[in-house]
A and B are shown apart, each in its own frame.
Chain A
């Protein structure tokens, strides 16, 4: 690992020193990339985030919340009633020892989590709290809890309708369940929706799963070594990702997959220590969260502003209803697709309810958000809450943690780079599955996508946060438009599986194995 980090850092440092004198020219490249990108993606972004006529509320946020609520009610609060059962499944209590060696529930969950836990939890939450105030956290938690039901629905279908090839490999995800499920029910338009999903999934992979990650990783690195052009970080990242996904150097991916969970645990531990040290302020922070949730505490947009930010960042972080997790979860080998649904509902819980909330609490407690002494409300600057040093995104989280541990930004920088890297690897796979669904599973078509993916890393690192985050959100939410439409038509399939499973569980036909 040390070697990889050295390889990552050395050229970046050398280049940043070299280009210091030619700064205006290289900043020019960044600027041009940024402008061209913003102009190109503008109309798409405007459409996705268009407000419901007569309100300031984007229709897409409503779409996600309504879906999560419908699934929660339709499955009778499955996220509460089967929470314990989900943990039991992850522990392997219901796994047949004869299937040992296949992908376990734990592994499918861990793989899906490594695609979602990452910058959304660190940078995304900071963006939400920075714009919507601490109250955004309340709506984020609510969205996380409701989103568990969306995840349950999509992952059950992902396993049920996946493709199993004669050589034993599998491909699954919304494009497969929408086309196969619709055909099975005699509904028209399945193929069209599947193709549309695949197109948006490719855009999502290039946006949130790639550009946003590269962008924030660059912000973090330049925050430590000093400002230098983004395309340099982009090229270094692109080269490493290229080696892994094209060169097939599995060892790098394997090391990352092992280090990332430790980073996650370390991040949560650091957050817990900060919260324990500031034990007396936790009550106050929750007070801010609840008060802000309904009044907005003077932030831009008030309660609606907090709500929009909370829901948006929760969806972006845990991806419930987006359909990406269904691709990751479909690899598990189980006789009961519904069991993977139960397991997957833990994902928004860990990602949003636990990790995002901790980030939000640390930011709130740290005092990085400036309070206007005259009004007692947060001071607003250009539509955002003013912060100490004017930080936003991952830099705000970093500053919040640094207020307790001065060395934490270094750990966070490493964590951000690794999280960004593992998310990119995961999304390169999701994007690839969508790409091969459209263009066939040939070596050339795979290579084309992988090269495009690497080019976008450079663009993402060079562009500024605004246009990148807008495009990333828009692309990921566009996936949700198609996926949730599919889920509405197919949720009765899940219901049948669910009822049958519940009966067999109650009758003792499905039982725990002795281990």
Chain B
């Protein structure tokens, strides 16, 4: 049986540490696939103008293409070059909820994320995505420091 590890990236340096750790784990486990996920923070309950709504589909496609090109594709390619089985995915939604939902959907064994890169005021009020994930995940989560 193949072990599936979901790696959540945040598009910043700290994500690379999570990726490096996941790669090492994959090497140790052997028969292992990495699913590299980038979640674009988005809420279905935000307010938009009629014009923004009319252009939303186009913007969404652009956001997904940009995230694929800049974050996911380079990561997946680097893993494949090193002989690690990997695939990538970009989704919109709440970071913690979406990472968990994808992991459940894919029957993953573990989620690997880096320590939160958010800071300051917003973190104090809303908590970090990593902390939210740890508290609400349905499967083991590894937080890489």
Contact = CB atoms under 8 A, between A and B. Distances in A.
Interface string A315-346: 00000000000011001110000000000000
B98 interface: yes
Interface in A92-122: 92, 95, 97, 100-108, 110-111, 114-115
Given A100-B98, A101-B40, A101-B63, A168 B46 contact: no
A101 B51 contact: no
A108 B53 contact: yes
A111 B53 contact: yes
Nearest to B101: A97
Contacts of A115: 50
A260 B97 CA distance: 28
A430 interface: yes
B56 interface: yes
A102 B54 contact: no
A223 interface: no
Given A100-B91, A168-B58, A169-B58, A114 B47 contact: yes
Determine chain B's interface SS by DSSP, over half rule. Answer: helix
Contacts of A114: 47
A51 interface: no
Interface residues of B, number: 27
B55 A97 contact: no
Contact of B46 (A97, A107, A171, A515): A107
Nearest to A98: B91
Contacts of A108: 53
Contacts, number: 90
Interface string A81-100: 00000000000100101001
Given A108-B53, A170-B54, A331-B53, A101 B60 contact: yes
A92 B94 CA distance: 14
Contacts of A426: 49-50
Interface in B7-56: 40, 42, 44-56
Interface residues of A, number: 38
Contacts of B46: 107
Given A111-B49, A430-B50, A100 B56 contact: no
Interchain residue pairs A-B with the least CB separation, the first 9: A101-B92, A168-B58, A104-B44, A331-B53, A100-B92, A429-B50, A101-B60, A257-B47, A168-B57
Interface of A: 92, 95, 97, 100-108, 110-111, 114-115, 167-171, 250, 253-254, 257-258, 260-261, 327-328, 331-333, 425-426, 429-430, 515
Given A101-B92, A168-B58, A170-B54, 7 more contacts: A100-B42, A102-B60, A108-B53, A111-B50, A170-B57, A331-B53, A331-B56
